[in-house]
Chains A and B, each alone.
Chain A
Amino acid sequence: MAGSNGAKRRGLKVIGKPFHKVDAKVKVTGELKFADDLMLPRMLHTRLLRSTVPHARIVKIDTSKAEAYPGVKAVLLGKDLPTTYGALPVSEDEHALAIDRVRMVGDPVAAIAAVDEDVATEALDLIEVEYELLQTITSIQDAYAITEPRIHEYGELGNIHRRQVYEFGNVEAGFADADFVREDITFYEGSTHLALEQHASLAQFSHDGKLTLWTSTQDMHYLHRHLAKVLGLPGSHIRVIATPNGGGFGGKCDPFNHEIVVSKLAMITGRPVKICLTREEVFYAHRGRHPVLMSTKTGFKKDGSITAMHHRTILDGGAYGGHGVASTFYTGILQTTTHNVPHYKFEAVRVFTNKAPCGPKRGHGTPQPRWAQEIQLDRIAEQVGLDPAEMRKQHAIPPNSITANWIRIGTLALGECIDKVVKGSGWKEKFRKLPYGKGVGIACSAYMTGTQTPIYYNKMPHSGVQLKLDRSGGVCVYCGSVEIGQGSDSILAYIVAEVLGIHPFDIRVVTGDTDLTPVDLGSYSSRVTLMTGNAAIQAAERAREILRQAVSEKLDVPGSRLSFADRRVFDTENPEKGMSFVEAVWLAEEKFGTLGTTGSYKPPAAPGKYKGSTIGPSPAFTCTASVAEVEVNPETGIVTVPRVWIAHDIGQAINPLLVVGQIEGCVYMGLGEALMEEMTYRGNRNMVHKFPSFLEYKSPTTLEMCDVVTYLVESQDPNGPFGAKEAGQGPQLPVPPAIANAVYDAVGVRIDEIPITPDKVMKALRAKAKGKEGRYGPTVFPTCEMPEAIVVKTPFEGGDGKAVEREPALSRK
């Protein structure tokens, strides 16, 4: 069924309709102000002096010449901002400016505020920094081998940031039960968000002691807390305004050093201070996809069912913690959410290296293991002689399951998604039947609609919405969510309009301002539609109740008989009897005084009770199935993708037009990661980015982008607002493995390393021609000493969600 049918069935007027976005018109006219479009009188400009070396002690910094340079108003050093911060409370390992140590090329060591950007840039050259070089940690292998020097003084061993081992059930027993066991080692290269808007911030500190920061951030609320901590100001004196993001994709989630620096410079100079990073600086700011090396050992039966899986990952984290601890969990925690896995062991390691720090990029930590799993499932299907689409459908976990690792899945229409793409793509006529050089591949995935746990522990709502109504009939929605292009402002208008029976474009939406809007945790983890949507429904229903009382009294009609639709409030049984929405608000204001309501949302508790069980659970899971068709030129190794079919269980499309747009964007980004995007460094140990520019960092242009055939499946999730689930991240996940599987179908070689570049295809083809294994990819999975596993009995074994108490004599490795 096409999107919006569910809404039509239920008589909804706004939900499920393809309204344009509330900000669409101001975006097409250039009227919308992004952070760098803001200019204030007396504004100063900032540039950062960045480290040119990957790992060093700072012996001396001399800023005297820069300070004396005409037009320079302030020079800032690390000692001026001594407090550490970082996205997660467990890894607050950053300084706004390096104090005595640089850990990567691009680490900022000094900042200059000057009358214009040119003067600031010129003055940077006058700062003298003396470095004492330290050994550089360039890779996972280095991080395992070199324990001194340590990039950070915290963490586990040497340069290992994080190690974790979980065993759900008993994988050895599961392997013993299998007909076959196979282990595949794969690698997914890092990539960056490449949002077109360069990060920009503008700070103003007024003489009343209040700081305002306009900035291109996805996570305004968390940034607000970090600013308070690092600047030593009360949170109540700081106002963060999240300007509309010119693309985020996870790249504007972390609190950034430049945001803190301009705030401090505004406090010092008493003038507005602005910064806009250059594109090269944005590459080093990064926080993108972790490079992940994976080993996936899976036991399976002849019917394609999995008996056990032991999945190991190593993440190359770069120079800082950031969101990395969460990323580490995500490289394994969702492996159980599509194909049934009764016993599951997950080991993960994150290392520090002297490179730009990795973090959350669309799919946060899950595209890498999903790729590993889906290309292995393709091999499994071949090994047992099953059609990979059929096999996936056969063993798809049913809705309302609890997985081995205690993730509760609600609605999940995976079988229906598989059916859609199989039928649409003509899978049965194509798979293993196309001529050499052409192929199709399939893959599936599941993804969270928001996380159950906020980044710092608290019991407060994850999202808040306030509504203001007044006698003009005007309705204003206030919410701390941040519009990053996904349409979060529009979602609020659609939902409130639906509940109040008015038109979405009658509503004003105010978002992303810590002074004006109630807290919402931010635009990450695909949480916004579900959480702000539920909060908006609550606030709007409360407002509707107020209006209902006033109108009921006036018309002498029982409140339960009143309907709200078409900008009217009327008697359902006698629709002529009623009044305009404006009159209803007027009456309510007379009766109750000034009108305002609030709504809030907090996700339900998850069933897992073991340490670490808070990462992974979500109020609702989406699932996606995708078929990719590829053409591989065996002479050049060039892979092109003419078309991708993709079916996504959206729950309910709040607006199908926006959902289809998100899915097409996911396919695009998956295609880029599959074929060309790579965040790599020069190999001379200087760890300079190989190509920090749009020209050389390859991303798909119109000429590489494939056709996309999108199917929306609406499973109506009871936890979602009007049944809705996420669309912005999940649909990316199956695209790279579907392409890899299609490459195998086309030319019979397995490329076990993303991106699938022509050189890798050629190497695999040549190996095959010589009678060797037709494969390109890693062959060795390095090991380090791991802690003992946290063992949790699965729901299938009658577990209670808690870890098994370990007695010393019984503990297992």
Chain B
Amino acid sequence: MKQTRKKGNGRLQKAHIRLQVNGEQVEVAFAPHKTLLEVLREDLGLTGTKHGCELGECGCCAVLVDGKPVLSCLALGLAVEGHEVTTVEGMAQGTELHPLQQTFAELGAAQCGYCTPGILLTAKVLIEKVPRPSRDEIKEALAGNLCRCTGYIKIYEAVELAAARMAGEPGEPAKESIYGWE
């Protein structure tokens, strides 16, 4: 539950900061107790970032701050002043999807799609650090992102396929993951 705010005594209450969001310089004013999640969604209109608990437990709200995954529900908006924030809206280049977005769509790794933005950003950082991650490395990296629809399997497969393609290898999904086993 949020703390009761001190009632204004005529002074302006909002904080006003400048930061980089998805490569653009933005200025935003918001009540200073707001989380980064709330600032992104409510004050910057970037509703691609989701929330499942607002307690740092589900991973839905993961965004990148200076290239590192951060749970935006646990960070204050004020804390990112002057920093670079990347949200799911910043993954595609124009109309061209990021390879992860492409494989997530292709392999059905997004069922309801609600956990997807947080998982995409977390996976993006993984591939940047470990270009061809093993299945175990993927599991470890995504252990803080819950998904209730997929059982994670299509997510692993999509990360592996994207990693292969980004490494310039021929990336074809396994037949079994699409049609089941013979």
| A interface residues with partner B (beta carbon < 8 Å) | 1-4, 18, 20-21, 23-34, 36-37, 39, 70, 117-118, 121-122, 125, 193-198, 244-249, 278-279, 424, 484-487, 656-661, 663-669, 671, 693-695, 699, 701-703, 705, 707-712
- State whether A32 and B113 are in contact (beta carbons under 8 Å apart), knowing that A2-B180, A198-B51, A703-B139 are contacts in the complex: yes
A29 to B88, CA, bound (A): 6
* The one of A3, A39, A246, A486 that contacts B179, using a Cβ cutoff of 8 Å: A3
Report whether over half of chain A's contact residues are helix, strand or loop; otherwise say mixed: loop
Closest residue on chain A to residue B57 by CB atoms? A694
The number of chain B residues with a CB under 8 A from chain A is 69
Known: A28-B104, A32-B113, A694-B55. 7 other contacts (CB 8 A): A37-B41, A246-B114, A279-B55, A485-B112, A664-B150, A693-B55, A705-B151
The residues of B that contact A669 with a CB separation of less than 8 Å are 148, 151
* A665 x B149 contact (CB < 8 A): yes
* A196 x B150 contact (CB < 8 A): no
* B180 x A194 contact (CB < 8 A): no
What's the nearest-Cβ distance from chain A to residue B36, in Å?
Answer: 15
The residues of A that contact B180 with a CB separation of less than 8 Å are 2-3, 656, 659-660, 663, 710-712
A701 to B144, CA, bound (A): 7
* B111 x A486 contact (CB < 8 A): yes
The residues of A that contact B142 with a CB separation of less than 8 Å are 702
* The one of B113, B138, B144 that contacts A246, using a Cβ cutoff of 8 Å: B113
* B149 x A37 contact (CB < 8 A): no
- State whether A31 and B48 are in contact (beta carbons under 8 Å apart), knowing that A3-B179, A699-B146 are contacts in the complex: yes
Interface string of B100-114 (1 = CB under 8 A from A): 111011111011111
* A665 x B111 contact (CB < 8 A): yes
* A37 x B47 contact (CB < 8 A): yes
The residues of A that contact B104 with a CB separation of less than 8 Å are 24, 28
The residues of B that contact A27 with a CB separation of less than 8 Å are 105, 110, 112-113, 116
- State whether A28 and B110 are in contact (beta carbons under 8 Å apart), knowing that A121-B2, A424-B181, A656-B179 are contacts in the complex: yes
Some 9 contacts from A to B, beta carbons below 8 A apart, are A37-B47, A193-B148, A194-B148, A196-B148, A247-B148, A485-B149, A661-B111, A694-B53, A694-B57
What's the nearest-Cβ distance from chain A to residue B136, in Å?
Answer: 10
* B148 x A28 contact (CB < 8 A): no
Closest residue on chain B to residue A485 by CB atoms? B112
For residue B35, CB closer than 8 A to chain A, the reply is: no
The residues of B that contact A20 with a CB separation of less than 8 Å are 105-106, 108
Closest residue on chain B to residue A490 by CB atoms? B108
* B4 x A122 contact (CB < 8 A): yes
The residues of A that contact B115 with a CB separation of less than 8 Å are 196
The residues of A that contact B53 with a CB separation of less than 8 Å are 198, 279, 693-694
The residues of B that contact A656 with a CB separation of less than 8 Å are 178-180
The residues of B that contact A118 with a CB separation of less than 8 Å are 2, 5, 31
| B interface residues with partner A (beta carbon < 8 Å) | 1-2, 4-5, 7, 31, 41-42, 46-55, 57-58, 60, 87-89, 91-92, 97, 100-102, 104-108, 110-117, 120, 138-140, 142-154, 156, 175-182
* A29 x B48 contact (CB < 8 A): yes
Max count, chain A CB within 10 A of own CB: residue among B47, B139, B153, B180: B180
The residues of A that contact B47 with a CB separation of less than 8 Å are 30, 33, 36-37
- State whether A660 and B179 are in contact (beta carbons under 8 Å apart), knowing that A28-B97, A249-B148 are contacts in the complex: yes
* The one of B2, B31, B151 that contacts A664, using a Cβ cutoff of 8 Å: B151
* A668 x B150 contact (CB < 8 A): yes
* B178 x A660 contact (CB < 8 A): yes
* A485 x B113 contact (CB < 8 A): yes
* A196 x B52 contact (CB < 8 A): yes
Q: Number of A-B pairs whose CB atoms are under 8 Å? A: 212
Closest residue on chain A to residue B100 by CB atoms? A28
* A30 x B87 contact (CB < 8 A): yes
Closest residue on chain A to residue B103 by CB atoms? A28
A197 to B47, CA, bound (A): 13
The residues of A that contact B178 with a CB separation of less than 8 Å are 18, 656-657, 660
The residues of A that contact B117 with a CB separation of less than 8 Å are 30
Max count, chain B CB within 10 A of own CB: residue among A30, A118, A121, A661: A30
Closest residue on chain A to residue B48 by CB atoms? A30
- State whether A28 and B101 are in contact (beta carbons under 8 Å apart), knowing that A246-B114, A485-B111 are contacts in the complex: yes
* The one of B52, B112, B148 that contacts A198, using a Cβ cutoff of 8 Å: B52
* The one of A24, A29, A247 that contacts B108, using a Cβ cutoff of 8 Å: A24
* The one of B58, B138, B153, B177 that contacts A196, using a Cβ cutoff of 8 Å: B58
Closest residue on chain B to residue A70 by CB atoms? B7
What's the nearest-Cβ distance from chain A to residue B133, in Å?
Answer: 12
What's the nearest-Cβ distance from chain A to residue B105, in Å?
Answer: 4
- State whether A2 and B179 are in contact (beta carbons under 8 Å apart), knowing that A24-B105, A702-B143 are contacts in the complex: yes
The residues of B that contact A702 with a CB separation of less than 8 Å are 138-140, 142-143, 145, 152, 156
Max count, chain B CB within 10 A of own CB: residue among A3, A31, A125, A487: A31
The residues of B that contact A125 with a CB separation of less than 8 Å are 4
Closest residue on chain A to residue B91 by CB atoms? A29
A625 to B180, CA, bound (A): 14
* A694 x B52 contact (CB < 8 A): yes
A132 to B57, CA, bound (A): 36
Closest residue on chain B to residue A38 by CB atoms? B47
- Sort A-B residue pairs by CB-CB distance and give the 4 closest, nearest first: A30-B48, A485-B112, A27-B113, A668-B151
A484 to B113, CA, bound (A): 9
What's the nearest-Cβ distance from chain B to residue A308, in Å?
Answer: 37
A296 to B52, CA, bound (A): 39
The residues of B that contact A671 with a CB separation of less than 8 Å are 151
A530 to B125, CA, bound (A): 41
What's the nearest-Cβ distance from chain B to residue A123, in Å?
Answer: 10
* A28 x B113 contact (CB < 8 A): yes
* The one of B41, B114, B143 that contacts A701, using a Cβ cutoff of 8 Å: B143
Max count, chain B CB within 10 A of own CB: residue among A23, A36, A37: A37
The residues of A that contact B91 with a CB separation of less than 8 Å are 29
Closest residue on chain B to residue A249 by CB atoms? B148
A195 to B146, CA, bound (A): 10
Closest residue on chain A to residue B106 by CB atoms? A20
What's the nearest-Cβ distance from chain B to residue A22, in Å?
Answer: 10
The residues of B that contact A247 with a CB separation of less than 8 Å are 112, 114, 148-149
* B154 x A196 contact (CB < 8 A): no
What's the nearest-Cβ distance from chain A to residue B51, in Å?
Answer: 7
* B108 x A694 contact (CB < 8 A): no
What's the nearest-Cβ distance from chain A to residue B40, in Å?
Answer: 11
* A712 x B179 contact (CB < 8 A): yes
* B113 x A699 contact (CB < 8 A): no
Max count, chain B CB within 10 A of own CB: residue among A33, A117, A247: A247
The residues of A that contact B1 with a CB separation of less than 8 Å are 121
